[in-house]
Amino acid sequence: MQGSEQGFEHNAAREYPKQPLIQMLRPENVGALATSAIAWLKPQPILRIGDPMPPQSLSLGRLGSLEARLAASKRDVRQAQKLRYKVFYKDGEAIADARTLLARRDKDAYDKICDHLLVIDHDAPPTRSGKQRVVGTYRLLRQTIAERHSGFYTQNEFDISGMIARHHDLRFVELGRSCVSPAYRNKRTVELLWQGIWSYVRQHQLDVMIGCASLNGTDPDRLALPLSFLHHFAAAPESWRAGPQPPRRVDMNRIAKHRIDHKVALRELPPLIKGYLRLGAYIGDGAVIDDQFGTTDVLIILPVSVIKSRYIEHFSADAA
């Protein structure tokens, strides 16, 4: 799990006993003085990838019995992976390989370098291992961490290098692997997830959120209406435009703009994508088929600067 990039500060305010120097240097006091000095000079541990995060930075919001917080340990991450497995593989259309079936967890190499946002229900019965129950999750990857490793997961599907280069002065964060337990798929849980994301974005002074969002199914012709709606009415402006890696590109412009029924198209869009659009997100130019997960993916681009003010006020008020 990704930890904080900053270590704890030294306690510079610590004071030694106010005694005359000659008394402090008496033989019976030298040992204690040396021990105290060494403790004062010893650097505090720096959090690195895989280390637990300090408790005060974990909680990102709360609504009643539900709390949004960051995973603090490998056990927390495993809880998120188990939920993802249930939603994507057991209940969904994703195709599990032998390793995934055996582990009964959705996991990949990115899990080790990401922060994991969890929604915990404090009123729900604990798991068999005694852990608090995770009912929702999001995976978060900051640009500074991605660049030290193999880049963003999104780059496996979309060529975002040019877009990031055009906005080299901004800090990006990738949102991914979003899922919510069926019984908690309601406005309250989704708002708490966004409250957590917003707190995280402010905490790390991030400027742009990106990621892949999915429509169920791998036949673009059956998804012609929602794909065409996104192409005509939510396309990214030129400065934010990015598209699929060339071999994987699927054209989204499948129905003429004047033939699109807005109400029907919106009904066919997944709630997650509609949520992004309400906030002001842009959609990349072209889609990608993900056969493993049984989905057609589009690129989400959400600069903080375009988020509508009423949502910023709403999430900020909730976080406070």
The predicted model gives 288-309 an average pLDDT of: 95
Residue 32 has pLDDT above 70, yes or no: no
Tell me: the pLDDT tens digits for 193-216?
Answer: 999 999 999 999 999 999 999 999
Tell me: the pLDDT tens digits for 248-257?
Answer: 999 999 999 9
Tell me: the pLDDT tens digits for 220-232?
Answer: 999 999 999 999 9
Residue 317 has pLDDT above 90, yes or no: no
Can you give the residue ranges of every domain in the chain?
1-51, 55-319
Tell me: the pLDDT tens digits for 129-158?
Answer: 777 889 999 999 999 999 999 999 999 999
Range name among 68-82, 264-278, 300-314 with the lowest pLDDT average: 300-314
pLDDT of residue 318: 54
What is the chain written as a DSSP string? Answer: ----SS-PPP-TT-------HHHHTSHHHHHHHHHHHHHHHSPPPPP-TTSPPPGGGTEEEEETTEEEEE--SHHHHHHHHHHHHIIIIISSSPPP-HHHHHHTS---GGGGTSEEEEEEETTSPPPTTSPPEEEEEEEEEEHHHHTTTT--GGGGTEE-HHHHHHTTTS-EEEEEEEEE-GGG-SHHHHHHHHHHHHHHHHHTT--EEEEEEEEE-S-TTTTHHHHHHHHHHSBPPGGG--EE-GGG-B----S-GGG--HHHHHHHS-HHHHHHHHHT-EE-SSBEEETTTTEEEEEEEEEGGGS-HHHHHHHHHHH-
Q: Categorize the per-residue pLDDT at 282 as very low, low, confident or very high, splitting at 50, 70 and 90.
A: very high
The CATH number that domain 55-319 falls under is 3.40.630.30
Residue 61 has pLDDT above 80, yes or no: yes
